[in-house]
Amino acid sequence: MIAQHLRGAATALTLAAMAFFAAAAPAQSAGTAAAIATKPVVVEMNEGRLIKLSSSASSVFIANPDIADVSVKSPRLVYVYGVQPGETTLYAVDRNDRMIASLRIQVAHNLSGLNGALVRVIPDGAVTATSIDGGIVLTGTVMDSVDAENARRLAQRYIGQKQEILNQIKVLASNQVSLRVTIAEVERSVIKEFGFNWENVFSKGDFLLGLASGPSDIITTAGGGFIVDSDRDHLVTAGNIGSFNILGMIDALSQDNLLTILAEPNLSALSGETASFLAGGEFPYVVWDRDNGSTVSFKEFGVSLSFQPTVLSGGRISMRVRPEVSELSEQGAVSLAGFALPGLRTRRAETTIEVASGQSFAIAGLLLDSSSEALRGFPGLSDIPILGELFQSDRYQREETELLIVVTPYLVTPINGRFPLPTDNFVKRAPQPTPGQRGLAQAPYAPEFIPLNDGSALAENAKGRPGFIVE
């Protein structure tokens, strides 16, 4: 009885041991296969790599030959060639169809040449390219947006147009530009009298200067006014030198009705983006189709300005500026199917300039020439036939106006938090009780203290009655 019990216990132990080793062997094989599969073999595109197997293989398979190609050099040596970026799997089996290798093949972009080119092209930056499935990622820092764009274009040439680029480059410099513009219309006679010549514009220090010569000169006085000095050549600045600046001169001409300021917009845009401004309106016009149907469309007119800044290195700004001034006119007006369509008289300019932050530049030379005829004569005598022509005369009036645009760009950075307002820390003045109210209360007058925005309270020993009166 005891012997049977011992034999039963031994049998149970034997079965348990067999079950343990049977379960451990597959677990160990699965663990080995998983370890091999989690270690990818990285091969760059258009390059190859030799892989040495642990034992001789009779067959080698590749899951996706469009990503990687394989060539068996010997039973234990396999050559893998990268075709295009992606990931695939390589399998190798022996004569007994036992799997001896299961490898993940990861084909990456050839970035060694690209990273070297990035260092040479952008020496002041730190840009690194990393391969991903379907493209590459650019990371690092550069000084301005131009270097970031150069890095993107260089990477695109290396990987081709079909691959995508994820641009994660951080630009250290400010890439937002604020533009202060003054668009004015000045009589041509004023330009000729003062001798302005905006064609002779040259750079000097931090200013753009316009040479002018003529019979008159504008000089600032101690009180801030302007006087005219005859028979002198003069220099007009498009920046500030001392107390003289071109914007002050424009204000002075505007006060004397010699110049009309059409618009003074302030625009902001990111580097590479376009900002536009329009001060005017839209007029309707009718458009007919082939089926004799009509639709109403609108055409803009007025003062418009669009600019596209690009922030360069060293704080310089390259801008493409396109100002335009248009107005409705009877010249070119047509009547069609009972509809009167006015014409547009337009003056337009488009240019690309490069300045530093805070420098000003002027665009001029857009002329508008119009003439009119006025008949003057003596009442009564000018109405006599034939002889009346002796008592009348024709006066021709010719009006020439020039469009003057002064632009000043600035590199700006958004502030953190809110803008300070004039009403910040405003304290409401407490009402002062009347003598009768004091007598009823039988208590000394105590002003009403209101906490400030920062959480503090006004001191009780403050003299007077602080605060502002808001009407």
Average confidence (pLDDT) over 198-226:
37
pTM of structure:
0.47
Residue 244 host element (H or E): strand 244-245
pLDDT at 391 over 50: no
CB 133 within 8 A of CB 166: no
Average confidence (pLDDT) over 71-98:
88
pLDDT digits (tens, 9 = 90+) for 160-190: 777 788 888 888 777 788 888 887 777 766 6
Paired residues of 305 in beta bridges? 277, 323
CB 81 within 8 A of CB 44: no
Orientation of helix 111-121 relative to helix 145-159, angle to 10°: 150
pLDDT number for residue 396: 41
pLDDT number for residue 224: 37
pLDDT at 72 over 60: yes
Q: Please, what is the Cα angle at 81 between 75 and 86, to 5 degrees?
A: 125
Confidence class for position 19, pLDDT limits 50, 70, 90:
very low
pLDDT number for residue 225: 35
Q: What percent of the chain has pLDDT over 70?
A: 58
Q: Which residue has the higher pLDDT, 8 or 50?
A: 50
Q: Nearest to residue 229, comparing CAs of 221, 220, 217?
A: 217
pLDDT at 18 over 70: no
Phi, psi at residue 274, to the nearest 5°? -115, 135
CA separation (Å) from 384 to 378, 390, 392? 10, 10, 11
Cα separation, 50 vs 43, in Å, equals 10
pLDDT number for residue 339: 67
Q: Which residue has the higher pLDDT, 135 or 218?
A: 135
pLDDT number for residue 463: 46
pLDDT at 440 over 60: no
Cα separation, 169 vs 188, in Å, equals 50
Please give, one letter per residue, the 3-state secondary structure of 22-60: HHHHHHHHHHHHHHHHCCCEEEEECCEEEEECCCCCCEE
Q: Is 373 helix (H, G, I), strand (E, B) or coil?
A: strand
Cα separation, 184 vs 69, in Å, equals 69
Contacts by 162-168, CB closer than 8 A, 24 or more apart:
163/85, 163/109, 163/134, 163/135, 163/136, 164/134, 164/135, 165/135, 165/136, 165/137, 165/138, 166/132, 166/135, 166/136, 166/137, 166/138, 167/138, 168/137, 168/138, 168/139
Confidence class for position 191, pLDDT limits 50, 70, 90:
low
